[in-house]
Amino acid sequence: MALIKSVRGFTPQIGEDCYLADNATIVGDVIMGKNCSIWFNAVLRGDVNSIRIGDRVNIQDGSVLHTLYQKSTIEIGNDVSVGHNVTIHGASVRDGALIGMGSTLLDHAVVGEGAIVAAGALVLSNTIIEPGTLWAGVPAKFVKQIPPEQSRELNQKIANGYLMYASWFKDEENK
């Protein structure tokens, strides 16, 4: 069973039909929407400031979400995929965005709706990634505009895949 821990008077609030892997850790001021999945070894640490997660968000294995005390928060919109081993530190990710494996988002960065952050990218503090764009590199730079239908198709395919994967684990737990 996932570790869900209260701290400083805050207890995580988990939405309906969410899947939390056995060793996921969710601490403090975390509010999560419905149909989310938090995968193995992911840590959502809302001990020093708030983490807000929309509906149908998947936070994949080994990812860490944290903030700066009294300075930054995390806001993640709906239908967002956060790849394996991602670090999000006090950043905002808008609806339908995809955060690639091993990437890092630093404080006050904003990833626009339907944007893609490539695997391994480092998004520096205060960076604004426009909606529907692809960013890659260290530090991350604009690569190209993505047609909205292509972005939506890719991001929805991944988000829907993770809804399906979570259902497999929920089915096993209900046996």
Tens of pLDDT, residue by residue over 143-169, are 999 998 888 888 889 989 999 999 999
Residues pairing with 142 in the sheet: 135
DSSP-derived secondary structure for 127-151: -EEPTTEEEETTTTEEEEE--HHHH
What's residue 151's pLDDT?
85
Q: State the burial class of residue 154 (Cβ atoms within 10 Å of its Cβ: 0-12, 13-18, 19+).
A: middle
What whole-number distance in Å separates Cα of residue 94 and Cα of residue 28?
Answer: 22
Structural domain span for residue 148: 3-173
In this structure, what are the phi and psi dihedrals at residue 164, rounded to the nearest 5 degrees?
-65, -45
Q: What is the mean pLDDT of the chain?
A: 96
Domain count within the chain: 1
Question: pLDDT tier at 19 (50, 70, 90 boundaries)?
Answer: very high
Query: Which tops the pLDDT comparison, 172 or 16?
Result: 16
What's residue 149's pLDDT?
87
CATH number of the domain bearing residue 126: 2.160.10.10
Question: pLDDT tier at 16 (50, 70, 90 boundaries)?
Answer: very high
What whole-number distance in Å separates Cα of residue 169 and Cα of residue 18?
Answer: 11
